[in-house]
Amino acid sequence: MADIILNSIFLDPRNETDIVEQAKLKVYNASGGLLNDFTENSPVAALIQGQAFAGAELLYYVNQLPLALVIDFLKITGVTRSSGTKAKTTLTFSISSPQNTIFTIPEGFEVVDSQGKLSFFTDAPLVIPVGLVSGSVTATAEEVGSEYNISPYSITGITQPLTYLAGVTNIEAASGGSDLESEASAINRALTQIRLRNLVSATDYEQAAEILLGEGSVCKAIGLLAGDKTTRELGAVHLFLLNSNGEPANDAQITYVKSQLASRIQLGSSLYTSPIELLPISAEFTARLTIGVNPEEAFDTLWEVFQEYLSPNSYPLGQDLIFYEVGFALRNAGVIKEAGNLTLNGSPSNIPIANDYTLPTPYSLFMQLVDENGIVFEGLRGSGESPSFGGF
């Protein structure tokens, strides 16, 4: 999304300290120097500080006025500030033994993550039939926010004991949680909405779709590409969508974008929408560990760098994955002093990206790090399995 930069407007830039100092000078001059005790606990200083506090409070809200007026005016575009969304996941409950009667977990049953901080509530009653020991049900986060997009097997806490209920977990990651949109982002979306009229260029389509999907989403518009992703079709515009969580847009999001943009396309055009395709990347990496660095911390740092470099939300569309650039990013993570071997999807070479609507995504990183004593530490991050790995 193209950014439109707006400078902040302050009707009065003074803060409480400025007001206090100016008030002291004013009182001193107005009294002809008679009121001159401005030490911390003096009556004059206390009075000035109290009045300055009240003045600073007023200025704080006065300075919000320009922003409030802008937001109110921009409501005419139909853009409202996103209040965030709640993450969802599927929970699998298990009971200690098969029962002679059905076992029911009520709707709204609360579970928490392994830290006991994030709560999820079941969306419907879960009925485990006679003879079975487990069942699954969807659940929704207690609050909005991306912090609820937690990894698989991290929801394990039961807050309300039920007889025979043995455990709970989430086999899949919780997803779909998003944070309250910033004021700056909402204003930028509204200004972009004003600027956009009918959709003409590829950039117009991409910006419009990214506004609908939210901050951090990605859209690639390809002209003359039919719905089958192969045939050339005159007047066709095919949009490939990645949501703000870095996942291919789901069916609901695809339908929503198409329905919202259909009335804005030019006469004679056809609009197609599809999810962006992801190419999982597994890497194997050997290196010598920097002296004094904890191996587990090094594994975490290297995995974080690998994920950041291959983030679908920021990786350039249509660009092959360059072997040496991945290696450069890992070498500069700050935890290794000498790199060894690197392979990407089993090969020490570039990974070609087949088309303009496919993005790489980090799948796994297997690492062998050797310390100054020659001890080899192995670590795996992501979803892969440990390969049979050669030495240095």
8 A C-beta contact, residue 144 and residue 85: yes
Angle, helices 295-309/323-331, rounded to nearest 10 degrees: 140
Angle, helices 65-74/183-195, rounded to nearest 10 degrees: 40
Burial readout 286-317 (b: 16 or more C-beta within 10 A, e: otherwise): bbbbbeebebeebbebbbebbeebbebeebeb
Tell me which residue of 166, 172, 156 sits closest to 120, measured CA to CA. 156
Q: Is 230 exposed, middle or buried (0-12, 13-18, 19+ CB in 10 A)?
A: exposed
Which one-letter DSSP state was computed for residue 131? T
In 3-state terms, what secondary structure has residue 19?
helix
Cβ atoms within 10 Å, residue 138: 13
Instruction: Output the pLDDT for position 315.
Output: 96
Instruction: Output the pLDDT for position 389.
Output: 41
Cα–Cα distance, 389 to 46 (Å, whole number): 72
Instruction: Output the pLDDT for position 148.
Output: 96
Beta strand spans in the chain (E): 88-95, 103-105, 110-113, 119-122, 126-128, 134-141, 155-158, 165-170, 218-225, 232-242, 270-275, 277-289, 336-344, 358-370, 376-382
Tell me which residue of 256, 151, 141, 139 sits closest to 208, measured CA to CA. 256
In 3-state terms, what secondary structure has residue 242?
strand
8 A C-beta contact, residue 366 and residue 303: no
Tell me which residue of 123, 112, 194 sits closest to 160, measured CA to CA. 112
Would you give per-residue pLDDT tens digits along the chain (392 residues)?
344 444 566 677 888 888 888 988 988 899 888 888 888 888 988 898 888 888 888 888 888 888 778 777 777 767 777 888 899 999 999 999 999 999 999 999 999 999 999 999 999 999 999 999 999 999 999 999 999 999 999 999 999 999 999 999 999 889 889 888 887 788 877 777 676 667 889 999 999 999 889 888 999 999 999 999 999 999 999 999 999 889 999 998 999 999 999 988 888 899 999 999 999 999 999 999 999 999 999 999 999 999 999 999 999 999 999 999 999 999 999 999 999 999 999 999 999 999 999 999 999 999 999 999 999 999 999 986 654 443 33
Instruction: Output the pLDDT for position 14.
Output: 83
Instruction: Output the pLDDT for position 254.
Output: 94
